[in-house]
Amino acid sequence: MREAAANAPRPALYAGGALVLLVLAKVLFGRGKKGSLGDLEERGMLDENRDVDEDKFYQGMMKGVRTMEMPELTEEQILAARERRRQSAAGNDNFEKSLAEVDIPANHPWATKENVSAAEQLAEEQRVLEINRPRKRRGAPPPQ
């Protein structure tokens, strides 16, 4: 082993020693850093206490947004919804019938229990299609 080290060129020995010293310094002194996040904190790009006040920030941001408390679903309701989805994906003929049996909560934000006629349903579908149709550009010159 000593003969191999003695016969090795000196620049290779110096480079190997420097590499060992760099790895040793990294292992001993590099543990306190958090990587690139630590560098960003040092430069002032990230706040050190960014995880502390998140709840206050979101509470203040959501203060003007109207929210509604929805009751938690029971395990039976979750299983029934999964079964309806399974039947819908399988193309079940009784899907419309089972969908009519679903209870809509009284405080639901947009769904209602009222029955609509076929004409009203068609008018609503046309209104939704009209709202969502792609708009045409006006004033474009004809192609030459």
What is the pTM for the complete model shown?
0.26
Residue 105 has pLDDT above 90, yes or no: no
At 109, the pLDDT band (50, 70, 90 cuts) reads: confident
At 123, the pLDDT band (50, 70, 90 cuts) reads: very high
Residue 75 has pLDDT above 80, yes or no: yes
Residue 5 CA to residue 126 CA, distance in Å, equals 86
Residue 36 CB coordination number (10 Å): 9
Domain ranges of the chain: 35-64, 73-103
Q: What backbone phi and psi angles, to 5 degrees, belong to 135? A: -85, 145
Q: What is the mean pLDDT of residues 95-124?
A: 79
Question: Max alpha carbon distance in the chain (Å)?
Answer: 98
Residue 44 CA to residue 46 CA, distance in Å, equals 6
- The separation between the first and the last C-alpha atoms of the chain, rounded to the nearest angstrom, is 84
